[in-house]
Structure 1
Amino acid sequence: MTSITIAQAIREAAQRLESTSDTTRLDAEVLMAHALGVSRSDLLLRHMRDAVPEGFAPLVERRAGQEPVAYITGHQEFYGRDFLVSPDVLIPRGDSETIVDAALSACPAPTRALDCGVGSGALLLSVLAERPDAAGLGIDRSEGALAMASANAERLGLGARARMEKRDWTQPGWDEGLGRFDCILANPPYVESEAELAPSVREFEPSGALFAGPDGLDDYRVLVPQLPKLLSPDGIAVLEIGRTQAEPVRQLAEKAGFSAVLHEDLAGRPRALLLRFCAWQCSA
Structure 2
Amino acid sequence: MNAPQTAAQAMAAAAARLRAAGVPDPARDARVLLAHAARIEASRVTLIAPEDLDPDVAERYEQLISLRAIRVPVSHLLGEREFYGRRFKVSSDVLDPRPETECLIEAALAEPFARVLDLGLGSGCILVTLLAEQPKATGLGVDLSEAACLQASANAVLHRVEPRADVRQSDWFAQVEGQFDLIVSNPPYIALDEMEGLSAEVRGHEPEMALTDGADGLSAYRAISQQVAEYLAPGGRVLLEIGPTQGAQVAEMLRTAGLVDVRVLPDLDGRDRVVFGRNCGENTA
Could you state the TM-score of these two structures normalised by the residue count of structure 1?
0.92
CA displacement at 1:42 relative to structure 2: 2.6
Percent of paired sites with the same residue: 40
2 CA distance for matches of 1:47 and 1:40? 11
For residues 261-276 of structure 1, what are the structure 2 equivalents within 5 Å? 261-276=263-278
SS at match of 1:17: helix
1:144 aligned residue (128, 144, 147): 147
2 CA distance for matches of 1:20 and 1:91? 21
Aligned residue type for 2:263 = V
Q: Does structure 1 residue 85 correspond to structure 2 residue 90?
A: yes
2 CA distance for matches of 1:254 and 1:87? 36
Contact 2:259 2:277 in 1 (8 A): yes
Q: Deviations over 1:145-199 (max 9, x none)?
A: 0111111111111111111111112xxx7045x2001011100110001212111
What's 2:13 paired with? 12
Where structure 1 has 5 or more consecutive residues not aligned to the other structure, the ranges are: none
Q: Which aligned segments of 4 or more residues in structure 1 are displaced greater than 4 angstroms? A: 278-281
CA displacement at 1:279 relative to structure 2: 6.0
What's 2:72 paired with? 67
RMSD: 1.7
Q: Does structure 1 residue 101 correspond to structure 2 residue 106?
A: yes
What's 1:201 paired with? 202
Larger helix proportion of the pair: 2
Q: Deviations over 1:227-248 (max 9, x none)?
A: 0011111111110000100011
CA displacement at 1:48 relative to structure 2: 1.9
What's 1:114 paired with? 117
2 CA distance for matches of 1:206 and 1:162? 23
2 CA distance for matches of 1:12 and 1:216? 41
Contact 1:20 1:63 in 2 (8 A): no
Distance 1:279 1:255, change over 3 A: farther
1 CA distance for matches of 2:50 and 2:43? 14
2 CA distance for matches of 1:147 and 1:63? 26
Number of paired residues? 274
| Structure 1 range deviating more: 244-253 or 48-57 | 48-57
What's 1:174 paired with? 174
1 CA distance for matches of 2:17 and 2:273? 33
2:33 aligned residue (26, 31, 34): 31
2 CA distance for matches of 1:21 and 1:183? 39
SS at match of 1:203: helix
Distance 1:39 1:199, change over 3 A: same
Aligned residue type for 2:66 = E
2 CA distance for matches of 1:216 and 1:30? 34
Aligned residue type for 2:41 = S
Where structure 2 has 5 or more consecutive residues not aligned to the other structure, the ranges are: none
SS at match of 1:28: helix
What's 1:47 paired with? 48
1 CA distance for matches of 2:3 and 2:40? 24
1 CA distance for matches of 2:22 and 2:124? 28
Contact 1:119 1:148 in 2 (8 A): yes
1 CA distance for matches of 2:142 and 2:96? 17
Q: Deviations over 1:36-92 (max 9, x none)?
A: 112211333x32223332210111111110111111111100000000000000000
CA displacement at 1:3 relative to structure 2: 2.0
2 CA distance for matches of 1:2 and 1:164? 47
Contact 1:136 1:163 in 2 (8 A): yes
Contact 2:233 2:279 in 1 (8 A): no
SS at match of 1:55: helix
Contact 2:191 2:212 in 1 (8 A): yes
2 CA distance for matches of 1:146 and 1:49? 44
SS at match of 1:87: coil
